[in-house]
Amino acid sequence: MAKVALAIAAHPDDIEFVMAGTLLILKEAGYDIHYMNLSTGNCGSTVYDSEQTAAIRLQEARAAARLLGAAFHEPICNDFEIFYSPDLLRKVAEVVRKVKPGVILTHSPVDYMEDHMNTSRLAVTAAFIRGIANYPTDNPPGGNYNCAVYHATPHGLHGPLGERIEPGFFVDTTSVHEVKMDALREHKSQQEWLESSQKMNSYLLSMDAFSAELGAMSGQFRHAEGWRKHSHLGFSEESYDPLRELGGYYLENVKHKV
């Protein structure tokens, strides 16, 4: 099968914050890369109404995906409507079956925001049922090929109750950090919104600082993204671990305890 990686995130700009660097490294390794935000991001403004905000954020996300060189997939719902529900699961499963990714990058199952956690659950189940014939979607089952699911670190490395979330390993994103920054810069509408809603003084500086923090945690990289690999059961052979095969870009977190 072709080497394909699919990033599934909740909102426009989430991929750029915690996944885009690894997506770019996979592209350099010969993967076709795909980009999907489940939500339109329609609530992400104090200036524009819902419809205007959704249109602006769709344009921004498309521009970011083009810059990354990723195939773009349309959002399927609005903000705060990402639920672990049959209708959304079917839509995510349709994309997974169409794309046939061997790598799925998604949110942490424990995160500060419900939209992120629900997206993680939907991505995991969509991957699990990729080859199950009795689960009908518009795209036919793709077979039970190897598919590895990786969970990004939550912003701030903490869950909703303040629990520390340690990455299991790091991917060195130093060489692609400026491209990742440029892709995030396409989400211009978020400067005012994130300052107002989440007290991020600059969304660009926040991403830069977070990737630098992960790089410092690695002890080797200037910038990094942190990941945990989902269990292989139901997804792949036990030895299948494509991110580990990235060579010098991959580094285990020796302090991580499963």
- Backbone φ and ψ for 27, nearest 5 degrees, come out as -60, -45
Structure tokens at 38: 């489940």
For the cut 70, the answer to whether the pLDDT of residue 71 exceeds it is: yes
DSSP state of 127: H
Q: For position 204, what pLDDT does the model report?
A: 85
For the cut 80, the answer to whether the pLDDT of residue 191 exceeds it is: no
Q: Are the C-beta atoms of residues 88 and 194 closer than 8 Å to each other?
A: no
Q: Which of 17, 15, 33 is nearest to 25 (CA)?
A: 33
Q: For position 142, what pLDDT does the model report?
A: 85
Position 187 confidence tier, pLDDT thresholds 50, 70, 90:
very high
Q: For position 192, what pLDDT does the model report?
A: 67
For the cut 60, the answer to whether the pLDDT of residue 200 exceeds it is: no
Q: Domains of the chain: which residue ranges?
A: 4-252
Task: Specify the higher pLDDT residue, 206 or 8.
Answer: 8
Pairwise CA distance, residues 180 & 207, whole Å: 9
- Backbone φ and ψ for 214, nearest 5 degrees, come out as -65, -40
Q: For position 205, what pLDDT does the model report?
A: 86
- Average of per-residue pLDDT across 7-25: 97
List all residues 6 or more positions away from 30 whose beta carbon is below 8 Å from its beta carbon: 3
Strand segments (E) across the chain: 4-9, 32-37, 71-73, 103-106, 148-152, 169-172, 224-229, 250-252
Structure tokens at 214: 């992960």
Residue 237: Cβ within 10 Å count: 9
Give the burial class of 258: count Cβ atoms within 10 A of its Cβ; 0-12 exposed, 13-18 middle, 19 or more buried. Answer: exposed
For the cut 60, the answer to whether the pLDDT of residue 198 exceeds it is: no
Q: For position 203, what pLDDT does the model report?
A: 80
Strand pairing category for 32-37 and 71-73: parallel
For the cut 60, the answer to whether the pLDDT of residue 197 exceeds it is: no
CATH homologous superfamily for the domain 4-252: LmbE-like (3.40.50.10320)
For the cut 60, the answer to whether the pLDDT of residue 199 exceeds it is: no
